Amino acid sequence: MKYPNEVIIAEVGPRDGLQNEKTILSAEAKAKLIDQAIEAGFKVIEIGSMVHSKAIPALADTAEVFKLIKNKDKAELRVLVPNLKGTERAIAAGIKKVKLTVSASESHNISNFNRTPKQTVEGFKECYDLAHQNGLEVSGAIATSFGCPFEGEISIEQIEQVVKAFIDLGIREISLSDTTGMGNPKEVYTKCQYFKENYPEITWNIHFHNTRGMALANIVAAMEAGMSRFDGAFGGLGGCPYAPGASGNVASEDIIHMLHLMGINTGIDLDKSIEIAKEVKMLVGHDVDSYMLKAGKVSDLIKERPKKQIKICNA
């Protein structure tokens, strides 16, 4: 199998992980985690979402978090924006990259936004135009790309309709997201290969949840299809409203560990990423879904053999 020499891992814990937590961290604590991630070597970090405080209270202070980050110029910092108001908030905060998200599933999208996917992307035009006029980069994300809790399997054709709509808008960076952890390696390979081959001009990001324990296998399948950019969350924070108690995002430190064992460079210090996960576990006050925190690195098992004791017998 041919794998990439280098993979970019985006840390999405500050947004997709912390937004689900009952314990709301202070802006100072979030900024510190983000600075630690930058120091560890993460070059892309999703720091929050520009939503109304009532919508997601845990992310209401994203603008303040951004202000407190010390090393802003050392990583690409992006935020999720749901609408024009969110785009305006991002511009006012001085943020340089925003992400727009829509579902490939019509049922899921109507449930969340009361609009079809096509109508949602059409509504993004004013967001894109305003962001572009103010010098912000814009990326897109397609939720439920690998399965929908209402519709089941999602076809390539459904995803492609949204891809084309994003391209028509002017977006050239798109994330395919396994929102509810329904994807499997065969499906992942087929879809990733199709979009990688048919839309080579697009920068593809792949976002997996580990809801059913298949995220790392799905990452390997996506790499085999030519993908080399993935999202992860410190400690594996996150969750799925359709599978209460299940794992959330795949843990960043678990991805890094696997890739380093495979000889694939990430530019990220694994030990530092594990320390971040340990701190996150302490801050949220409960166990997290990280194999690195539960079992440690493979290299932790390899210890120096004790020298054999040679007994000398006197005849």
Q: Please indicate whether residue 240 is annotated as part of the active site.
A: yes
Catalytic residue among 127, 148, 192, 240: 240
Give the pairing type, strands 8-11 and 229-232.
parallel
As annotated, the active-site residues are: 240
